[in-house]
């Protein structure tokens, strides 16, 4: 397997991104009851917090499931992002590995820390940073690189509400080796 | 879910097992999850593309796995407990047609600075380990 073993320009471009935060990506929608309900329905979740009926008054009691964190920040099928949002974030790294022939992608670890639960109408933004890239490794899937992206998530008032670390592997699929 | 019944923190001890979660994973449930989590990658809805990539069936996306893990611990802990941290290692894909089964054991309990519990979880798609790791819950 000798896909760009000389490691070309794409690898130096990846390494140049280390510890350089990308510009903020804005959530397409504010935290809202409809998307929360759709998520609960899809996963069989029946939790009074996500229906807003915890406590005596149901108004303003609704919370968003912490596991929806990334849902708020996903682009839609068209890739649309709101005005003022960066169009490029650390997912760019996957494209750069692809340029080097490392077109296979698999998630390895996801670590999430939630500072607090979110409420309707909060509007999130995230800042992603490439925090580590391994040396080239031989894995069960093929030869590849492990890399970790940190995502810091804030509300519109710059309050940090969550931190996520996602470790992935980009590898050369066997068919093309 | 027995949401009206909140678990008593004092009754939790290390080594305690949580009631297992079992969910039939189907093409429809995978697509419903993918839409609800806004994950439009073709491997979660396009069978032709999935086969080109060497898989036999659609598989669950990571956001859905997170959702089921949250449901698993929250059903046990009740609505007083807050999910504060999770650290998950991803394993084999959970394919349409398999049963997702999540098991967990209390691995640590503490009361400083707030009351907290760590649960070691293991999720299987049929018999293959789909995800494993640690989830932390906190009580106010």
| Helix runs in chain A, H state only | 8-16, 33-43, 48-51, 69-73, 92-99
Q: Which of B69, B79, B82 sits opposite A48 (nearest CB)?
A: B79
Res. A7: pLDDT tops 70 = no
Instruction: Assess contact for A117 and A36: CB atoms under 8 A.
Output: no
Do residue A76 and residue B38 have CB atoms under 8 angstroms apart?
yes
C-alpha dist (Å) from residue A18 to A92, A93, A133, A149: 12, 10, 8, 9
Mean pLDDT for B79-108 is 96
Q: Is the pLDDT score of B24 beyond 80? A: yes
pLDDT digits (tens, 9 = 90+) for A109-144: 999 999 999 999 999 999 999 999 999 999 988 899
Which residues of B lie inside 8 Å of A (Cβ-Cβ)? 1, 3, 23, 29, 32-33, 35-40, 54, 62-64, 66-71, 74, 79, 82-90
Q: Which domains does chain B have, with CATH numbers?
A: 13-139 (3.10.129.10)
Report the mean per-residue pLDDT for chain B: 93
Q: How far is A4 from chain B (nearest CA, A)?
A: 22
Work out the angle between the directed axes of helices A92-99 and A8-16 (0-180°, nearest 10).
Answer: 160
Give pLDDT, residue A56. Answer: 52
Share above pLDDT 90 across residues of chain A, in percent, rounded to a whole number = 81
User: CATH code for A8-176?
Assistant: 3.10.129.10
Cα separation, A32 vs A53, in Å, equals 15
The pTM for the full model equals 0.91
Confidence bin at A52 (pLDDT 50/70/90): confident
pLDDT digits (tens, 9 = 90+) for B31-71: 999 999 999 989 899 999 899 888 899 999 999 999 999 99
> What does the block give as tokens for A149?
């992206």
Tell me the pLDDT band of A177, cut-offs 50, 70 and 90: very low
Q: What mean pLDDT do residues B97-105 have?
A: 98
A-chain residues near B118 (CB < 8 A): none
Q: Which pairing describes strands A124-133 and A143-155: parallel, antiparallel, or unpaired?
A: antiparallel
Predicted pLDDT of residue B6 = 64
How far is residue A40's CA from residue A68's CA, in Å, rounded to a whole number? 10
Looking at CA atoms only, how far is residue A41 from chain B in angstroms? 9
Res. A35: pLDDT tops 50? yes
> Could you tell me which residue, A53 or A20, shows the higher pLDDT?
A20
**Domain-wise residue ranges, chain A:** 8-176
How buried is A152 (Cβ within 10 angstroms: 0-12 exposed, 13-18 middle, 19+ buried)? middle
Distance separating alpha carbons of residues B126 and B95, to the nearest angstrom: 9
The string of DSSP codes covering B18-87 is PPPEEEE--HHHHHHHHHHTT---GGGT-HHHHHHTT-SS-B--HHHHHHHHHHHHHHHH-TT-EEEEEE
Q: Which 3 state secondary structure label does DSSP give A42?
A: helix
Assigned token pair, B72: 């698993």
Residue B4 has pLDDT above 50, yes or no: no
Determine whether the interchain pair B62/A107 forms a contact, defined as Cβ–Cβ distance below 8 Å: yes
- A169 closest CA partner among A142, A131, A130, A129: A142
Crossing angle of helices B27-36 and B62-77, rounded to 10°: 90
Residue B66, C-beta contacts closer than 8 angstroms, at least 6 positions apart: A67, A110, A112, B86, B88
Closest of A86, A160, A174 to residue A118, by C-alpha:
A160
The sign of the CA dihedral A90, A96, A97, A103 is: positive
């Amino acid at each position: 397997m000798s896909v760009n073993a000389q490691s070309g320009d794409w690898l130096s471009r990846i390494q140049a991104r280390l510890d350089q935060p990308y510009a903020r990506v804005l959530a397409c929608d504010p935290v809202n009851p409809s998307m929360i309900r759709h998520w609960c329905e899809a996963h069989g979740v029946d939790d009074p917090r996500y229906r807003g009926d915890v406590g005596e008054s149901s108004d303003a009691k609704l919370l968003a499931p912490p596991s929806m964190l990334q849902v708020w920040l996903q682009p839609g099928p068209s890739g649309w992002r709101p005005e003022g949002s960066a169009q490029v974030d650390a997912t760019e790294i996957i494209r750069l590995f692809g340029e080097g022939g490392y077109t296979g992608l698999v998630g390895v670890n996801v670590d999430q820390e939630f500072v607090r639960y979110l409420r309707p109408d909060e509007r999130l933004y995230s800042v992603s940073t490439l925090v580590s890239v391994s040396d080239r490794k031989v894995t069960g899937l093929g030869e590849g690189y492990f890399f970790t992206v940190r995502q810091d998530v804030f509300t519109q008032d710059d309050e940090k509400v969550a931190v996520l670390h996602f470790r992935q592997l980009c590898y050369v699929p066997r068919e093309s080796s | 879910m027995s949401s009206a019944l909140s678990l008593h923190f004092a009754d939790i001890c290390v080594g305690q097992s949580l009631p297992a979660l079992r969910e039939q994973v189907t093409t429809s449930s995978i697509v419903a999850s993918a839409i609800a989590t806004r994950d439009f990658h073709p491997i979660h809805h396009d069978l032709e593309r999935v086969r080109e990539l060497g898989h036999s069936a659609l598989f669950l996306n990571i956001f859905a796995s997170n959702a089921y893990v949250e449901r698993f611990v929250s059903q046990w802990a009740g609505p007083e407990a807050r999910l504060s941290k999770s650290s998950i290692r991803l394993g084999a894909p959970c394919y349409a047609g398999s049963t997702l089964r999540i098991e967990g054991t209390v691995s640590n309990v503490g009361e400083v600075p707030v009351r907290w519990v760590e649960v070691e979880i293991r999720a299987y798609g049929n018999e293959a380990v789909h995800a494993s790791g640690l989830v932390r819950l906190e009580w106010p």
